[in-house]
Amino acid sequence: MANLQERKSFSKSRISIQASGGTPEAKGIEKRKLSQKRRTLPLQLSMDGHLSPWPTYTSGQTILYNRKPCSDDSRNRANTCQQQSMNISKPKYLEQLENYLRKELLLLDLSTDSAQELRLQPYREIFEFFIEDFKTYKPLLSSIKNAYEVMLAHQKEKIRSLEPLKAKIVTMNEDCSERVLAMRAEERYEISVLKKEKMNLLKLIDKKNEEKISLQSEVAKLRRSLAEEYLRYLTERDARKILIGDLNELRYQQEDMSLAQNPAGASLAGVPREDPMKLTLALKMTRQDLTRTQMELNTMKANSGDVVPRRDLEMQEKTNMELQEQLESLRADYEEVRKEHELLLQLHMNTLKERDQFYNELQEIQRTSTPRPDWTKCESIIAGGPERWLVLAEGKNSDQLVDVLLEEIGMGLLREKDFFPGLGFGDAIPPFLRFDGPVKNKKPSKKEVVNLLKDAWKERIAEEQKESFPDFFFNFLERRFGVNEAMAWAYTIFENIKLFRSSEIMNQFYAVLMGKNLESVYINQKETLSHLLKELISVDTQNEGSITMEQFSTILKTNFPLKKEEQIQELMEAVGWGPDSSNSDMLNYRSLFHEDEEGQSEPFVQRLWEQYESEKEAYLEELKQELDLDPLEEVTLLKMRGTLMNMDPTMDKQTLSAYLSQAYQIPAIDVPLEDEERQGIISIKVETALDRLRMADTKRVGPREPEPAS
């Protein structure tokens, strides 16, 4: 017990030393006290005078030999060892240490902030005892203890440095909470104000509606009273007219009765006579007035002999204006008819010339051409019989039928091949075909090849296009089929797309893969179709998938303003427009963009692509004529730039730089648009420049003559 009391006082002193900062002097004092305390602590020795190795001296009795787990002997031996180990008691030194640790832990005051550090102190002392007792392992145990002490000191220092940050975080949290509460209170206030304003407005609307209803009822009432007053006044007017007529008739009757009752003589006898002189003077004055009035009447007749009444004049002016408008309208109609007549005459002359030209060509063809082949003979040769041949030959000319026949024959030969011969590693060989030795033919169907090409295009459009298209194609095959199978699939797909030239997606993929076209040609075509579909969907307000023919024609003219009327008509015919069709006919526009299993587009998309190719060729042919140079002559960048601007005045600088960059194979940012001296130095052959422009998405940007500003 005395030893335990000494340890307790020693632990308290050590805690006070650590609290004082752990200075070197304090550590030395602690070490001396620990060594003195170590001498006073009795050790539990073994029978040989050394420390008891319990429970290690029993390990020889508990080790199991390598026997089968299920054997009875091993089971019995294990039970025996367990019973023996349970009968072995702990050493007294171990029991003293455990009792000391238990009492120290009970005596600690764990209510303070440094409770965990106080709890660690008894364990630290026990570990110090072990270090001092086990001399052999003292260096190792000391290094372990020092490492833990250093780490604990580091963690304490780190915690001490983070205390201000914790306080700052708490302060910021409180500020943010206050701000959130303030914002919520402000929002609640605004919401309440808006609700009140809403209620006031609703009340005002109800009040206005009531006033409107009352005013409408008053207006209706006033209209009814006005109609009643109007009818009453009409009745009074008619009654008054009738009354006046009755009064006049009664007066006339009364006069007639009075004349009938009193003769003329009797009446004159009772009337006093007038003065004759006065009557003579009145007669003379009356005659003078009559003469003067007659003269005035004659004068007025003479003056107004050529005068027309105003009413007749206004009527004649109105009639004249109507006739003038009719004349102007007839003149405009006549002018339009005259222009149409001239156009028809010109068209008639052109038609006659074309007829003569076609007739001469027909005569020449009939003279030099071979008989037309009987394509029905192919029905028995093509796989699928006459039905499949009719599907393949529908809408195709002889040249296209030859391509179809060659594809069918080539497909059969391609199916028979099990291996392709490797093309070697020459520079002329594309990178994705460089292989020496036989390559296995994977023999995919046409549908599988088309789906694979679509997936390749999707991945190519989605990525940043940092690598060339052939390298991307081979890397795509490696990602899809693995490194070992990529070369076989590369040869297989290459042979298929080289064979099926009538398939749009295969033909376009082959052109891009072999460098005949740029990727932008295919990508811009898909973007054009996507934009056109979006425009059609925006017009379809009911979302029924159909619009009228008139709406479809309007969208085509809006999206393709540079196309001629004949080209728009061709596109309309491709979707089913005919002579018997009307503008109100409905069109299922979504079906125009569908593709079959083999990647074949609808006639509308095919005709759109054909027009794009013909427009590009016409544009490049016009450029060739404007340059007015031999194809083998060299054209400078300055002349090419001027020619493009003259042909396409509305072309912007970005497009112009892109065309010149493609033709002269220089980066677009390095095209010297402002430096005419450098433009005069850079030159290239005309034929080479046109071929490079043919590879790109080259087209007219605007009309040749810009429209005048209105």
Question: Which are the contacts of 128, defined by CB distance < 8 A and separation ≥ 6?
Answer: 34, 145
Write phi, then psi, for 280 (nearest 5 degrees).
-65, -45
Higher pLDDT, 69 or 421: 421
**Listed range (11-20, 84-93, 252-261, 366-375) with the worst mean pLDDT:** 11-20
How far is it, in rounded angstroms, from Cα 112 to Cα 114?
5
pLDDT value at position 28? 47
The answer to whether residue 510 sits within a structural domain is yes
Same domain membership, residue 511 and residue 423: yes
Give the domain extent around 455: 417-516
Q: How many CA atoms lie within 13 A of 115 on its CB side?
A: 8
Q: By the 8 A CB rule, do 631 and 658 touch?
A: no
- DSSP letter (8 states) at residue 52: -
Task: Locate 327 and state its tokens.
Answer: 């004349």
* pLDDT band (50, 70, 90) for residue 64: very low
Q: What is the mean pLDDT of residues 348-367?
A: 86
How far is it, in rounded angstroms, from Cα 583 to Cα 606?
23
How far is it, in rounded angstroms, from Cα 194 to Cα 550?
48
Please list the alpha-helical segments (H only) found in 262-309: 264-270, 276-303
Angle value at C-alpha 438, between 433 and 441, nearest 5 degrees: 80
Q: What is the mean pLDDT of residues 340-363?
A: 90
Domain boundary among 487, 516, 545: 516
Same domain membership, residue 658 and residue 590: no
Tally Cβ neighbours within 10 Å of residue 650.
Answer: 14
Calculate the average pLDDT of the chain.
78
pLDDT over 70 (residue 270): no
- DSSP letter (8 states) at residue 500: -
Residue entry with tokens 């072995």: 88
Report field, pTM of the whole predicted structure over 0.75: no
Domain boundary among 583, 612, 641: 612
Same domain membership, residue 494 and residue 459: yes
pLDDT value at position 195? 93
Which helix or strand (DSSP H or E) is residue 547 part of? strand 547-548
The answer to whether residue 95 sits within a structural domain is no
Burial 453-488 (b: 16+ CB within 10 A, else e): beebbeebeeeeeeeebbebbbebbbeebeeeebbb
Higher pLDDT, 3 or 510: 510
Which helix or strand (DSSP H or E) is residue 548 part of? strand 547-548
Write phi, then psi, for 503 (nearest 5 degrees).
-80, 125
Higher pLDDT, 136 or 23: 136
pLDDT value at position 262? 65
Same domain membership, residue 466 and residue 429: yes
pLDDT value at position 42? 41
Same domain membership, residue 576 and residue 637: no
The answer to whether residue 537 sits within a structural domain is yes
The one-letter code for the residue type at 256 is D
How far is it, in rounded angstroms, from Cα 491 to Cα 595?
26
Tally Cβ neighbours within 10 Å of residue 394.
Answer: 7
- DSSP letter (8 states) at residue 370: P
**Listed range (253-267, 340-354, 575-589, 636-650) with the worst mean pLDDT:** 253-267
The answer to whether residue 564 sits within a structural domain is yes
Closest CA to 53 of 101, 90, 78, 85: 90
pLDDT over 80 (residue 78): no
Task: Locate 328 and state its tokens.
Answer: 């102007």
The answer to whether residue 273 sits within a structural domain is no
Q: By the 8 A CB rule, do 690 and 636 touch?
A: no
How far is it, in rounded angstroms, from Cα 276 to Cα 694?
127
Q: By the 8 A CB rule, do 552 and 535 touch?
A: no
**Cα 293 to chain centroid, rounded:** 95
The answer to whether residue 540 sits within a structural domain is yes
Task: Locate 301 and state its tokens.
Answer: 């007749």
Percent of the chain whose predicted confidence (pLDDT) is above 70: 75
* pLDDT band (50, 70, 90) for residue 330: very high
Same domain membership, residue 492 and residue 478: yes
pLDDT over 90 (residue 393): no
pLDDT in tens, 608-633: 888 888 988 998 898 888 888 888 88
pLDDT value at position 68? 38
* pLDDT band (50, 70, 90) for residue 338: very high
The count of structural domains within the chain is 3
Task: Locate 454 and state its tokens.
Answer: 């679509």
**Listed range (29-43, 261-275, 284-298) with the worst mean pLDDT:** 29-43
Same domain membership, residue 602 and residue 552: yes
* pLDDT band (50, 70, 90) for residue 86: low
Same domain membership, residue 602 and residue 541: yes
How far is it, in rounded angstroms, from Cα 450 to Cα 595?
11
Same domain membership, residue 595 and residue 537: yes
**Cα 202 to chain centroid, rounded:** 40
Higher pLDDT, 418 or 383: 418
Largest Cα span, the chain: 200
The answer to whether residue 83 sits within a structural domain is no
Domain boundary among 465, 496, 516: 516
pLDDT over 50 (residue 34): no
Closest CA to 589 of 631, 547, 644: 547
How far is it, in rounded angstroms, from Cα 565 to Cα 592?
20
Task: Locate 413 and state its tokens.
Answer: 């030969």
pLDDT in tens, 669-707: 666 666 666 766 778 888 888 888 888 888 888 886 654
pLDDT over 60 (residue 46): no
pLDDT value at position 432? 85
Q: What is the mean pLDDT of residues 497-525?
A: 85
Kindly list the distances between the CA atom of residue 164 and the CA atoms of 112, 116, 145, 167, 569, in Å, as whole numbers in the listed order.
21, 21, 30, 5, 80
Same domain membership, residue 564 and residue 585: yes
Q: What is the mean pLDDT of residues 187-195?
A: 93
pLDDT over 70 (residue 146): yes
Q: Is 438 helix (H, G, I), strand (E, B) or coil?
A: strand
How far is it, in rounded angstroms, from Cα 675 to Cα 684?
18
pLDDT value at position 14? 44
Question: Which are the contacts of 567, defined by CB distance < 8 A and separation ≥ 6?
Answer: 560, 611
pLDDT over 90 (residue 200): yes
Angle value at C-alpha 655, between 533 and 570, nearest 5 degrees: 40
pLDDT value at position 70? 42
Same domain membership, residue 538 and residue 607: yes
Beta bridge partners, 684, equal 635
How far is it, in rounded angstroms, from Cα 146 to Cα 129?
15
Q: What is the mean pLDDT of residues 361-383?
A: 69
**Listed range (206-215, 280-289, 461-470) with the worst mean pLDDT:** 461-470
Same domain membership, residue 585 and residue 507: no
Question: Beta strand pairing status for 419-421 and 586-587?
Answer: unpaired
The answer to whether residue 250 sits within a structural domain is no
Question: Beta strand pairing status for 683-685 and 634-636?
Answer: antiparallel
pLDDT over 70 (residue 257): yes
